Amino acid sequence: MKNTGQDLPAKRLAGIGQYRASDHDPVLAGLDLPAGPATPATVDLNFLGINDFHGRIDTNTVLFAGTVEMLRAAAPGPSAFLSAGDNIGASLFASSAARDQPTLDVLNTLELRASAVGNHEFDGGWADLRDRVAGGSNAKFPYLGANVYRKGTSEPVLPEFTVLEMSGIKVAVIGTVTQEVPSLVTPAGITGLEFGDPVDAINRVAARIKAEDLADVIVVENHDGAGSGTPEGATLEQEVAAGGPFAKLVSETSADVDAIFNGHTHKEYAWDAPVPGVEGKTRPIVQTGNYGENIGQIQLTVDTRTKAVTGYKAGNVKRTTDAAADLVAVYPRVAAVGVIVRKAIAEAAEIGNQPVGRVTADITTAFTPVTDTTPAKRDDRAGESTLGNLVADSLVDALKAPELGGAEIGVVNPGGLRNELYFAPDGTITYAEANSVLPFVNNLWTTSLSGAQFKTLLEQQWQTNPDGSVPSRAYQQLGLSENVNYTYDAARAAGDHITAIRVNGKPLDPAKPCRIGMFSFLATGGDNFRVFKEGTGTKDSGLVDRDAWIRYLQEHNPASPDFARRTVSVVNTTAAAVKGGDAMTLEVSKLDLASLGSPANKSLTAVFTDAAGTSTPLGTVPAASGAATVNLAVPAKAAAGVGTLTLTAIESGTVVKVTVVVSAVGPVRA
């Protein structure tokens, strides 16, 4: 279907950092022409948005394209297809194998009018984005980045906005990206850039647009968003109260902005956000989730005389389940997308379809809980996962040789895991499926951290930016190799959440160094794990994550999920020292993993081992919803000294160890 709007080809204007469509039509003077149809009082502008598509070139791509075309066809007025960034990067194999050109071709075919630049557009470095992705004939739409500056200047290196002509209404689209980009990509690729505050950039550009009368309507594409969303139950008010970049976006973005699309946090919401300084007025703010699973739709009703927005509708539309063949038959652009997808999949298949190993069951990231209205969704980065832990195990295996760094512990950031290892249909894992888990092609590095620095690393899971502010993802759960276990109390003060760490079953020595294996992204302080930059003896193994991962799956065939958690919440109210017969009281939670197939723990076995090494079974403790209340007596004849209460979850094998000091003379309270 052809776009019903009068959209004109965009061209770049030198010297002002923007793309702009034609401002006027030729004036036909001196002709006695018959009167045309009356201009309608209002026009409905239909904006269709995506975010975090991440190269999803697969059997769903035609359905995604079909949804866009169906919404275009049903719209009462002209449509503009837009993106809030991360179109490419962390992509499926059919796209990544061709450097994401199939994804760019799909978006070009669907006539994407503009996109904010996302952090993943910088995965290949600024030169790759500038010269290949956004340059030449690759992306035929402008990549916008009003807050991406040449280092040491206020000069944007990308267009700040573009102007679309839609049935006589000029629409400016401003693009911005999260200010956290330097912690999200390899620093070497962006050495000449600085990333400013998105809201400050939006307001600066919006003021210019209004002052110079460059557009009637302003739409923002901001690659950042709320930390939660409606499927998880959070409200707009709760998100704003939490503070941070999203709160500023809602509370301080210029009243000249009429609508906002978000990205980056992979959340799904459509909220009516109050317009600052205008009593009772709201504007839509929408994020679609990710991977083309939804199309965000904002319809703005515009008065054709005053050019003011007089109303709006906003929401997310789920990807259609209609038959692909029917969509191809009805919509020419969908048919063209189908050709691109088939070609990309066929070209990737020669390598991608080769089996590299098997799994005995699903091994996945953490999934969000199922609700009455929302299915479980992958990539809950605040949750420990079977996949994150398995990848951490693979790092130790790949880097344990002294000449490769001598890794003792593996650490994985959750954002590095971009797909699952699913059992269906027969447990076989192909090259493409394995590659899709780790698509970034990072090198594997090692570094030495002291025990105290390793504790700092775990504390940095409670995220802060270098300036102390809290980023959109306030907590990121690291995957850890199986020889590491720790307990924590989230209610304790920042920097003091971690209550005990054991490596190879023994308490971690704060002074002793240990070799950590990780992706090069983490080694340079990515995802705000800045303590890695303090490591010593840092070494690049020369191994690529994908190749080492696939070799691990080949050598550990079949792979099985380990449902034993490596991190558990323990609130310990046991006295500082106890004697035989005194109570040991704990609240244990986070016992159940959120990866697919994880069992629900129903009971814990308890064993107390005293300072003399005598172990005494203490029976079982019931558990429900991943939590248990422990109230057990110290064995009457326990030897004085440091003892250990060991709790083992029967269903998952999770082991929790808590130090208990037994006094020879009776309890000593702090």
Distances (CA, A) of 30 to 26, 27, 39, 627: 13, 10, 22, 83
Question: Does residue 530 fall inside a structural domain?
Answer: yes
pLDDT, tens only, 578-601: 999 999 999 999 999 999 999 999
Question: Does residue 615 fall inside a structural domain?
Answer: yes
**pLDDT given for residue 516 in this prediction:** 98
In this predicted structure, the answer to whether residue 508 has a pLDDT above a threshold of 90 is yes
Domain shared by 136 and 167, yes or no: yes
**pLDDT given for residue 21 in this prediction:** 35
Q: Residue range 476-498: average pLDDT?
A: 97
Where does residue 143 rank: exposed (0-12), middle (13-18), buried (19+ CB within 10 A)? buried
Counting residues of the chain whose pLDDT is more than 90, the rounded percentage is: 84
pTM above 0.85, yes or no: no
**pLDDT given for residue 298 in this prediction:** 98
Domain shared by 591 and 523, yes or no: no
**Position 26 confidence tier, pLDDT thresholds 50, 70, 90:** very low
Question: Does residue 58 fall inside a structural domain?
Answer: yes
Q: Which residue type, as a one-letter code, is found at position 255?
A: A
Distances (CA, A) of 2 to 72, 113, 165, 297, 324: 9, 14, 16, 18, 19
Q: Residue range 321-345: average pLDDT?
A: 97
In this predicted structure, the answer to whether residue 9 has a pLDDT above a threshold of 80 is no
Question: Does residue 647 fall inside a structural domain?
Answer: yes
**pLDDT given for residue 22 in this prediction:** 31
User: Nearest 10 degrees: CA dihedral of 535, 540, 544, 545?
Assistant: -10
pLDDT, tens only, 391-406: 999 999 999 999 899 9
What are φ and ψ of residue 65, in 5° steps? -60, -40
Domain shared by 603 and 645, yes or no: yes
Q: Residue range 547-563: average pLDDT?
A: 97
pLDDT, tens only, 36-66: 577 899 999 999 999 999 999 999 999 999 9
User: 589: domain CATH number?
Assistant: 2.60.40.1930
**pLDDT given for residue 435 in this prediction:** 94
**Position 541 confidence tier, pLDDT thresholds 50, 70, 90:** confident
**Position 110 confidence tier, pLDDT thresholds 50, 70, 90:** very high
Does residue 661 contact residue 642 with C-beta atoms inside 8 Å? yes
Token output for 512: 């002793």
Domain shared by 334 and 412, yes or no: no
Domain shared by 101 and 186, yes or no: yes
What is the number of structural domains in the chain? 3
Domain shared by 595 and 451, yes or no: no
**Position 381 confidence tier, pLDDT thresholds 50, 70, 90:** very high
Q: How far apart are the first and last CA of the chain?
A: 74
Nearest to 196 by CA among 251, 148, 153: 148
Where does residue 512 rank: exposed (0-12), middle (13-18), buried (19+ CB within 10 A)? exposed
pLDDT, tens only, 55-102: 999 999 999 999 999 999 999 999 999 999 999 998 889 999 999 999
In this predicted structure, the answer to whether residue 668 has a pLDDT above a threshold of 80 is no
Alpha-carbon span 57 to 95, nearest angstrom? 6
**pLDDT given for residue 229 in this prediction:** 72
pLDDT, tens only, 274-288: 999 999 999 999 999
Peptide bond into 274 cis (omega under 30): no
**pLDDT given for residue 112 in this prediction:** 98
Question: Does residue 53 fall inside a structural domain?
Answer: yes
**Position 666 confidence tier, pLDDT thresholds 50, 70, 90:** very low
Domain shared by 292 and 432, yes or no: no
Domain shared by 543 and 584, yes or no: no
**pLDDT given for residue 33 in this prediction:** 52
Which of 316, 342, 368 is where one domain is finished? 342
In this predicted structure, the answer to whether residue 2 has a pLDDT above a threshold of 50 is no
Question: Does residue 210 fall inside a structural domain?
Answer: yes
Q: What is the mean pLDDT of the chain?
A: 92
**pLDDT given for residue 34 in this prediction:** 56
Enter the DSSP assignment of 119.
G
Domain shared by 394 and 481, yes or no: yes
Which has the higher per-residue pLDDT, 667 or 452?
452
**Position 567 confidence tier, pLDDT thresholds 50, 70, 90:** very high
pLDDT, tens only, 152-170: 999 999 999 999 999 999 9
Domain shared by 551 and 571, yes or no: no
Question: Does residue 640 fall inside a structural domain?
Answer: yes
**pLDDT given for residue 3 in this prediction:** 34
Does residue 536 contact residue 194 with C-beta atoms inside 8 Å? no
Nearest to 644 by CA among 608, 617, 604: 608
Token output for 493: 């003060």
Q: Residue range 541-546: average pLDDT?
A: 86
- DSSP code per residue over 284-333: EEEEE-STTSEEEEEEEEEETTT--EEEEEEEEEEPP-S-HHHHHHH-HH
Which of 495, 530, 555 is where one domain is finished? 555
**pLDDT given for residue 273 in this prediction:** 98
Contacts of 341 (CB under 8 A, 6+ apart): 57, 58, 61, 62, 94, 102, 106
pLDDT, tens only, 170-210: 999 999 999 999 888 888 899 999 999 999 999 999 999 99
Question: Does residue 88 fall inside a structural domain?
Answer: yes
Contacts of 471 (CB under 8 A, 6+ apart): 180, 183, 244, 245, 463, 464, 465, 528
Domain shared by 258 and 151, yes or no: yes
In this predicted structure, the answer to whether residue 7 has a pLDDT above a threshold of 70 is no
Alpha-carbon span 392 to 561, nearest angstrom? 13
Q: Residue range 228-251: average pLDDT?
A: 87
Q: Please identify which residue in the block is written with the tokens 């330097």.
A: 182
Q: Which domain holds residue 636?
A: 567-662
Domain shared by 513 and 575, yes or no: no
Sheet with 655-662, edge to edge strand ranges: 615-622, 603-609, 641-649, 655-662
User: 238: domain CATH number?
Assistant: 3.60.21.10
Which of 555, 590, 617 is where one domain is finished? 555
